[in-house]
Amino acid sequence: MTLHAIEISRSALLANVETFREVAPESRFMAVIKSNAYGHGMLEVAGLLAPHVDWFGVNTLAEARRIRAIVPEPPILVMGLNGWEDQPVPQGVTLVLASLQQIQAFGTRGIPFHIKIDTGLSRLGLRGSELDEALQYLAEHPQAPWTGVMTHFANVEDVTRQDYALEQIRRFQEAREQALAVAGSRSLLFHAAASAAALILPESRLDMIRVGISLYGLWPSNETRLSLLGRQGPLPILRAALSWRSQIVQIHSVPAGASVGYGCTARLERDSLLAVIPIGYFEGYDRLLSSRAHVLVRGRRAPVIGRVSMNMISVDVTHIPDACAGDRATLIGRDGAEIVSAEDLAAWAGTINYEIVSRIIGDLPRTLVT
């Protein structure tokens, strides 16, 4: 096998889309594939999902162009802020405009756009008098190809009581009434929900759900899962799509008392067999995993010993005596009966699963597997 393999399960991705079709049968499904599809490989995921989803969501126009070069459908929404001023926008790409100034500058260029309303995240979006002015402008420019209105939630995945999100929905409904009043003959798509809201807040689903993390089979948070556990009906099944494998490149025996790695932060208490795996923080294996994470070798857990370096880690395989150079090492995924999940790595590194997967370096090859 090659030194590195990031395997993306087709059946898991398709099953997750299907799960959301069942969760929100009335809403269109946007697959959010920004940031290299959260580390899963944007073009691989786009090619697979194009026939199965209603929209793609990305952050940049550059991402939209790369996708449009390989698939003519579905439409793509560019949700981030990036200087489009003099860039050509391909067919089937819709921009998100988030300020009055942008709407005045781009609104009449013939490129379809959605507007973004700030309902409480206080990041991008129109609010207050700026929203009123923007809607006034759109009322006066009925030719502007305005096709949708969106907002984004602040804390759905952080809590089990959704008072804040419900207030955001209330504000969005208000903005919706205002928007419909000036839309004229334009028909507008209203959307708000990312994964967590799509899963737990039926009133957020509206015309479309924008699903990122859970498309890849990961829960947005424990709170999100807990929120659903308390309800009737089965918990939606999400299947983690990504496995990250590498290989043991060398094994050596190191005597008790030796220290391991930069900073001499780990010291061996017994004579040990240490395996070197050619993955480090450059490849996206966070340095905060030093002496905390486990990898899987021959179906057993092997703890990371000492610091994660730029391109290497050492793991203890003393208890896996048949381990040898060339053995597969699983950083994320299943090996036999054992699993290391993106959540496990997130907990060890003190971050969220989103960051763990999206930071796996883009130039390791992604392979679609069954």
DSSP class of residue 162 equals -
- Sheet containing 272-277, strands listed edge to edge, beginning at the edge strand earlier in sequence: 250-254, 272-277, 313-316
Which one of 10-18, 97-105, 194-202, 261-269 is the stretch in contact with ligand PLP (CB under 6 A)? 194-202
Among 4, 152, 205, 301, binds ligand PLP (CB under 6 A): 152
Q: Is residue 195 at the binding interface for ligand PLP, with CB under 6 A as the rule?
A: yes
| In contact, 258 and 275? CB cutoff 8 Å | no
Annotated active-site residue 262? The verdict is yes
Residue 32 as a binder of ligand PLP (CB under 6 A): the answer is yes
Span interacting with ligand PLP, options 137-145, 213-221, 230-238, 355-363, rule CB under 6 A: 213-221
Q: For residues 263 and 188, what is the distance between their CA atoms, to the nearest angstrom?
A: 58
34, 116, 285, 354: the catalytic one is 34
- 116 annotated active-site: no
Interface with ligand PLP, residue 210, by CB under 6 A: yes
How many residues touch ligand PLP (CB under 6 A)? 13
Smallest distance, ligand PLP to C-beta of residue 31, A: 10
Nearest of 340, 363, 364, 345 to residue 355 by alpha carbon? 345
Q: Both tokens of residue 136?
A: 């006034």
Q: What stretches of 34-175 adopt beta strand conformation (E)?
A: 55-58, 76-78, 93-97, 113-116, 146-150
> DSSP letter at 126?
B
SS3 at position 214 = helix
Kindly indicate which of the ranges 63-71, 193-201, 234-242, 272-280 contains the residues binding ligand PLP, using the contact rule CB under 6 A.
193-201
In terms of Cα–Cα distance, which of 48, 50, 82 is closest to 63?
82
Binder to ligand PLP among 213, 241, 242, 312 (CB under 6 A)? 213
Residue 234 to residue 23: CA distance in whole angstroms? 11
Please identify which residue in 194, 201, 331, 357 interacts with ligand PLP, judged by CB under 6 A. 194
**Both tokens of residue 260?**
């391991």
What residues between 47 and 106 interact with ligand PLP by CB under 6 A?
Answer: 79
Residue in 39, 212, 217, 261 binding ligand PLP, rule: CB under 6 A: 212
Computed on alpha carbons and rounded to an integer, the radius of gyration of the chain in Å comes to 23
Q: How many Cβ atoms from other residues are within 10 Å of residue 282's Cβ?
A: 12
Q: Considering the complex, state which of residue 211 and residue 260 has its C-beta at the smaller distance from ligand PLP.
A: 211
Complex with ligand PLP: residue 31 or 304, whichever CB lies closer: 31
User: Does the footprint of ligand PLP cover residue 241 (CB under 6 A)?
Assistant: no
Q: Which stretch binds ligand PLP (CB under 6 A): 204-212, 227-235, 248-256, 323-331?
A: 204-212
CB atoms under 10 Å from CB of 187, counted, come to: 10
For residue 247, list its beta bridge partners: 328
User: Segment near ligand PLP (CB under 6 A), from 107-115, 131-139, 188-196, 255-263?
Assistant: 188-196
Half-sphere exposure of 104 (CA within 13 A, CB side): 9
Which residue number places its CB atom closest to ligand PLP?
A: 212
Are residues 54 and 32 in contact, defined by beta-carbon separation less than 8 angstroms? no
Least Å distance, CB 136 to ligand PLP, is 25
Query: Residue 74 or 212: which CB sits closer to ligand PLP?
Result: 212
Catalytic residues: 34, 262
Site for ligand PLP, rule CB under 6 A: 32, 34, 79, 152, 194-196, 210-214, 220
